[in-house]
Amino acid sequence: MNKEALLVKSFQKVFESMNNEGIKESVDKNGIDKFISDCALLAATTGAASGFGGFTTMIVGVPADVINNVIQQFRVTLGVIYHKKGVYKVSFSEFMTIVGVSLGVEVGASITKSVMISIASKILIRLSASTAGKAIPFLGAAIGGSVNYGFIKAIGVAVKKVDMSNIVLDAHLKQNDSDIKTRSLPS
């Protein structure tokens, strides 16, 4: 298995571990903008921690930082999908389609393996932008924290701009279908 396919598989595992109901509850309770800010703060925390001690903490911290950034990006994307579509459980393919559109990747009617790899590559390129700055002790914390915060906030803005009016999610169809079945017929 090549590293791009492994990356896509890793993204799928992260996606499957998401607490969708927790995301829904948080968006309902605090609103989408506060939810995005909270995710950005969580990302900033690992960015700062991975850059605090310079090269020494960077070696251990960057992998954890990358994983946390992907988790926060996925949480933000799921939060915006719920905010816009009222659906908090979507398939990985549907989810990656929206992630791809938000990153500017050309996504057709069906998402192919090469599109998934293109999306994964774009995410990694964006996440690796702040890595060099984290090698400088103390200053690396400020760089890592602020870059991560800005990255997640930018993801939130990008996903919120995605026109989801034409995107039909399987979960939404199932939800509407069950609503129709449970409604009583007029007498």
**Is the overall model pTM greater than 0.75, yes or no?**
yes
Give 96-134 as a DSSP string: HHHHHHHHT----SS--HHHHHHHHHHHHHHHGGGTGGG
In the predicted model, is pLDDT for residue 13 greater than 80? yes
Higher pLDDT, 144 or 155: 155
pLDDT digits (tens, 9 = 90+) for 71-111: 999 999 999 999 999 998 898 888 888 888 887 777 765 66
- CA 118 to CA 123: how far, in whole Å? 9
> What would the two tokens of residue 129 be?
């932008």
